[in-house]
Amino acid sequence: MLHLQFLTMPFPGVRHWLCLAGQRLRRGVLALLTGCFALALPAHAAVTPGAQGFGTGDPELGLIGELNGIAFNGLVAGDGQGWVYGKADTYTSCNNCAGRGGFALAENGGANTPSVAFFRAASPGDRFGVSGVRIYNPSAANTGMTVRGYRNGSVVQTVSLTLTRISPMLVTYDLGLTDVDQVSFTSSHDWFFAIDDLGIAPRPAVSGVSPVGGAGGSTVVITGSGFAAAGYPAGTVVRFGAATAAATVDSDTQITATVPAGVGTVDITVTTAGGTSATGSATQFTYPLASQSISFAPPGPQSFGSAPTLVATASSGLPVSFSTASAGVCTITAGGLLNLVATGNCTIHADQPGNSSYSAAPRVSQTFAVQPVPPGAPTAVVATAGDGEAFVVLTAPASSGGDPITSYTVTSSPGGIAATGTTLPIRVSGLTNGQAYTFTATATNGAGTGPASAASAPATSRSAQTISFSNPGPRSFGTTGTLTATASSALPVAFSSATPGVCAITSGGALSFLTAGTCTINADQTGNASFLPAAQVAQTFQVNPVLGRASTVPGMAGFANATLSGGGATCTLVAGDTRFMSPAPLPGGRSAPHGGFEFRSVGCVGSVTITIAYPEPLPVGVAFWKFGPASPGAASSWFAWSGATLSPDRRTVSYTIADNGAGDGDPAVGVVLDPFVPALGGAADAVSIPVDAPWALALISALIGWLGWRRTTRAAPSA
């Protein structure tokens, strides 16, 4: 039996005074009462079990007596159901009124204001339903009523009633509230109404199912409470999941039901006017797993590169999955698509693993052939023209068609001249020189020839040409030469140096030597619209160092010879900067009756030695002078040179100069610059210096009147 606990609605603490004798009373039914008395309304007073029930006598109700044929005498109502009503001095309530639960009615706050009656479940979590009510409405002002069903403090159902005043009868209204834990009745205007036969049903509960599983058509006994719902319009409905079962209510605690068709595990629920039973482990019922089968038609032979759609269905309607037994030929993507990756036999499995309703289906497999197709079109076709021919390269097709490519065919346009090959490049001959051609290519495998590629860029075949370039032979450093080469096309030949550290080609095309060594010159002809580029021709020859210089000297008969030694294999004299000088005045009144010698050497390492052999002995008392830095890094000037050696016969002078050492007038590494003079005398008067162009580069001093000669960054005398 459902037990309910009640709270009164909150109302201000108002005391109403009724003067009943000979006056028009404010509350209709209480016109039967005589005298004046005060009434007070409790606020939020809980109605606990054991409160006044309407099945026993109520002295206050007895005072009301009978109104319009309805006896308010505190006894059980004539229909055996009971009353809930309002009166002037208090709220009213009943607990388990005639088996229908407990109720409370809160009085209104005054005349011409709505009244509210309400009740709720005694225990949290209890649910019930209200199928209908009978209402006595003595006030013509009350034209409507709002009934609200609550669950956990929130309104879940609202029913609006149009009140009908048919005196002296109770009017019946249908509500259909289910699964609620509190209900309120609010009148539209006036202060009083009576409610009879509220049709309250508790929420049913399922505590057990026996047996807990079986096939459709079998019998199940359901145990629990609140199943009968006798006398309520909603009746009793039993469901297995969503399916309604034929059922017999054996008692308020037992139902016998026939299992409807179904699959898997479902919950059994019982629904009455009190709502629907809760679900849980005790309410579950399991159907036996049904068998299923797979229909999977053979796909038949497929072409390589295609992506056929696999179709298979399960009798259960559940989805079928596919897998491959031949991954080297066919694969299944994560999305279930079939890819044919090679030729051969492809085997596909179809599976359905089942679920809570169906057992796994037997696997079905299908095997089909994947056949090759012609390859795709080659790409990136590039033609290089030759003499009456072209050489074509390309990129293989993206798809081989599932079979190895055996050959490529290249076709010209115009002319349709074709050539087939298995390796690249493919040579197409028989072309006309001077004619522009484009080329397309196809690939062939065991299944046939695929589509043609896009055309290449135009290529024009041209005549071949050759270069004739004779070896210049050994050359001496310091000299120049003219290179001669001719092309069979009569087009000009260009020269370039392959050894720029030894030799170079000037912007004007002349050959220039930078040091002694091996020189290699390339001859090229790049061709034009009629001729192909000529094959490069290279000639290599030796650039020999210049190691000596011979010349006459003043005051002697015959030739003097200057010889360079040391400095490495590439050390050579620069011919234009190496010479014997004419006589010139020297510092301190000294004279050079037999002139002097200057040189520049390049490509040298370390020190160089100069040996001068004169045709006659040098005079007694001769001294040797140099122009340059007297010590490394010093400024250039004339200074006596003690490093020279004169032979006993006074005919040979030898001296050594270190690169960037004392006397070297050029700071560049590997270059030695040195003027040298055998001098006589020693007066300190004005001196003269050589005036030959290489030495006449600087005025040494206005007082001593000597000139300096500077090579590169320093001044040195020359004659």
Predicted local distance difference test score (pLDDT) of residue 637: 83
Residue at which a domain ends, from 327, 349, 371: 371
Average pLDDT rounded to a whole number, residues 673-690: 64
If asked whether residues 272 and 252 sit together in one domain, one would say: yes
pTM: 0.39
Domain around 495: 467-544
Residue at which a domain ends, from 286, 314, 346: 286
Please report, for the domain that includes residue 492, its CATH number. 2.60.40
If asked whether residues 234 and 342 sit together in one domain, one would say: no
Please report, for the domain that includes residue 431, its CATH number. 2.60.40.10
If asked whether residues 105 and 161 sit together in one domain, one would say: yes
If asked whether residues 18 and 167 sit together in one domain, one would say: yes
pLDDT digits 0-9 by tens, 603-627: 999 999 999 999 999 999 999 998 8
Is residue 511 one of the residues assigned to a domain?
A: yes
Containing 655, the helix (H) or strand (E) segment is strand 652-658
Predicted local distance difference test score (pLDDT) of residue 294: 96
CA distances from 150 to 94, 115, 120, 593, 703 (A): 20, 18, 9, 141, 131
Q: How would residue 247 be classed by pLDDT, with cut points 50, 70 and 90? A: very high
If asked whether residues 365 and 415 sit together in one domain, one would say: no
If asked whether residues 586 and 705 sit together in one domain, one would say: yes
**By the 8 A CB rule, do 390 and 383 touch?**
yes
Predicted local distance difference test score (pLDDT) of residue 264: 84
If asked whether residues 414 and 493 sit together in one domain, one would say: no
Is residue 175 one of the residues assigned to a domain?
A: yes
Predicted local distance difference test score (pLDDT) of residue 226: 86
Instruction: Give the integer Cα–Cα distance in Å for 150 and 158.
Output: 9
If asked whether residues 564 and 699 sit together in one domain, one would say: yes
pLDDT digits 0-9 by tens, 358-371: 899 999 999 999 99
If asked whether residues 513 and 601 sit together in one domain, one would say: no
Residue at which a domain ends, from 440, 460, 480: 460
CA distances from 296 to 304, 333, 363, 366, 545 (A): 21, 19, 10, 8, 94
Is residue 155 one of the residues assigned to a domain?
A: yes
If asked whether residues 182 and 120 sit together in one domain, one would say: yes
Is residue 668 one of the residues assigned to a domain?
A: yes
Predicted local distance difference test score (pLDDT) of residue 183: 79
Q: Are strands 596-602 and 579-581 parallel, antiparallel or unpaired?
A: antiparallel
If asked whether residues 539 and 680 sit together in one domain, one would say: no
Percent of the chain whose pLDDT exceeds 70: 74
User: Which of 232-246, 478-492, 604-618 is least confident?
Assistant: 232-246
Better pLDDT: 461 or 172: 461
Instruction: Count Cβ atoms within 10 A of the Cβ of residue 17 and give its class: 0-12 exposed, 13-18 middle, 19 or more buried.
Output: exposed
pLDDT digits 0-9 by tens, 621-659: 999 998 889 888 888 888 888 889 999 999 999 999 999
Is residue 376 one of the residues assigned to a domain?
A: no
Predicted local distance difference test score (pLDDT) of residue 167: 53
Please report, for the domain that includes residue 311, its CATH number. 2.60.40.1080
If asked whether residues 184 and 54 sit together in one domain, one would say: yes
- Cis bond upstream, residue 632 (ω within 30): no
| Total count of domains within the chain | 6
